[in-house]
Amino acid sequence: MHEKVFNAVGSTPLVRIHFDSPAAIYAKLEYMNPGGSLKDRTALYMIEQAEKSGRLKKGYTIIDASSGNQGIAIAMVGAAKGYKVVITTTEKCSEEKLKTLKAFGAQVVVCPYVDRMDDPNSYHSVAVRMNRENPKSFMPNQYMNVENAEAHYHTSGPEIWKQTKGKITHFFAAAGTCGTVSGVGKYLKEKDKNIKVIAFDAKNSYYSTKGNPKHYKIEGMGIDFDTPVLYKEYIDEIIPVSDEDAFGAIKPIASKYGILGGLSSGAVAYGVSQYAPKMLEGSLGVMIFGDSGRAYLSKLNF
Ligand SMILES: Cc1ncc(COP(=O)(O)O)c(C=O)c1O
């Protein structure tokens, strides 16, 4: 029993998916968080750190830029804690995620889709400006705040280590802000430096195109600017995945395993399917399924 919905964040299950590989690979179903994604962890952690340090006080508005899920998580935690919430997002954000934000009572500002996050019209720049103009506001700033990675260092990392009884050999996650792969990667490498940490990026992102980004359709992932949240020292490889491969991997897993992941889960599943054949017998992989395909049904042609 929980007094508040955010007390139910975390402790998500690992479920096996069989790839063409001698290794055992499990998906961590982050869509089982109460707000429906891995971002419940970062939103809750960053809000509570800000409350503890006095950066967030009663009566304040929480403002952040989000491709959708961090916004939804902030809106959920904000509703349960009694804060006003403003979320800036892009026109790429699915209709389902926009309506979820509004259902939780958030004010939503939809910004044009631009290739670079440092463009003054980007959803990130707009949120920074709104935060600067309102002295009674707090911006978690997931793209620049290392507490984003710390949230995963303190929650997802230890959970995965415990769930696999320390036997994990490979960790796979999609990278957007890079909080997940950095925080979990740091935790796991400190436990055993031989664990391989592999991130998947959108093929057309700022990072994977070496500074010449092009439009891409996957939501939630894609390293779109230089960020202190990317802890390169704990990451062995960053592998690009195309829109087509990511979208194409969702339905086969849903119809075979009953696990309907979202767009980044599709990218992770595709990336792992390509990586898994070279893993050795006895290896144990964990991959993050960040949210549910239910948030994108209007974009998926099944
Ligand atoms: C569904 C989903 N998967 C993956 C990611 C990427 O996680 P991170 O921002 O920790 O790199 C996000 C980020 O918003 C997301 O919403």
Sort strands 137-138 and 61-65 into parallel, antiparallel or unpaired: parallel
Q: Ligand 1 — pocket residues by CB below 6 A?
A: 37, 39, 67, 69-70, 174-180, 220-221, 262, 264, 290-291
Q: Whose CA is nearest to atom 1 of ligand 1?
A: 290
How close is the Cα of 261 to the center of ligand 1, in Å? 13
By most ligand atoms within 8 Å of CB, the mutation choice from 33, 97, 180 for ligand 1 is 180
Nearest CA to ligand 1 atom 14: 220
Q: In the predicted model, is pLDDT for residue 206 greater than 80? A: yes
Say how far apart CA 74 and CA 198 lie, in whole Å: 27
Q: Identify the pLDDT of residue 26.
A: 98
Domains of the chain by start residue, with CATH: 5-37+153-299 (3.40.50.1100), 40-138 (3.40.50.1100)
H helices of the chain, in order, are 39-53, 69-81, 95-103, 123-133, 147-154, 156-163, 179-191, 243-248, 250-257, 263-275
Active site residues: 39
Q: Which residue has the tokens 């961090």?
A: 70
Spatial CA neighbour of 13 closest among 208, 258, 245: 258
| Whole-number percent of the chain with pLDDT over 70 | 100
- The half-sphere exposure of 48 on its side-chain side, counting CA atoms within 13 A, is 12
pLDDT band at 241; cut points 50, 70, 90: very high
pLDDT digits (tens, 9 = 90+) for 265-287: 999 999 999 999 999 999 999 99
pLDDT tens digits, 141-188: 999 999 999 999 999 999 999 999 999 999 999 999 999 999 999 999
When pLDDT is cut at 50, 70 and 90, the band that residue 31 belongs to is very high
* Residue-wise pLDDT tens digits, 83-122: 999 999 999 898 999 999 999 999 999 999 887 788 999 9
CA-nearest residue, atom 13 of ligand 1: 220
Cα separation of 124 and 53, whole Å? 23
Q: What is the mean pLDDT of residues 36-61?
A: 98
Q: Which atom of ligand 1 is nearest to the CA of 37?
A: 1
Other CB atoms within a 10 A radius of the CB of residue 174 amount to 30
Please check the confidence at residue 302 and state whether its pLDDT lies above 90. no
Across the range 228-255, mean pLDDT stands at: 98
Only one residue has tokens 């440092």, namely 118
Residue 28 burial class via C-beta count within 10 angstroms: exposed 0-12, middle 13-18, buried 19 and up: buried
What is the SS3 assignment for 38? coil
- How far from chain centre, in Å, is Cα 281? 29
pTM of the model: 0.96
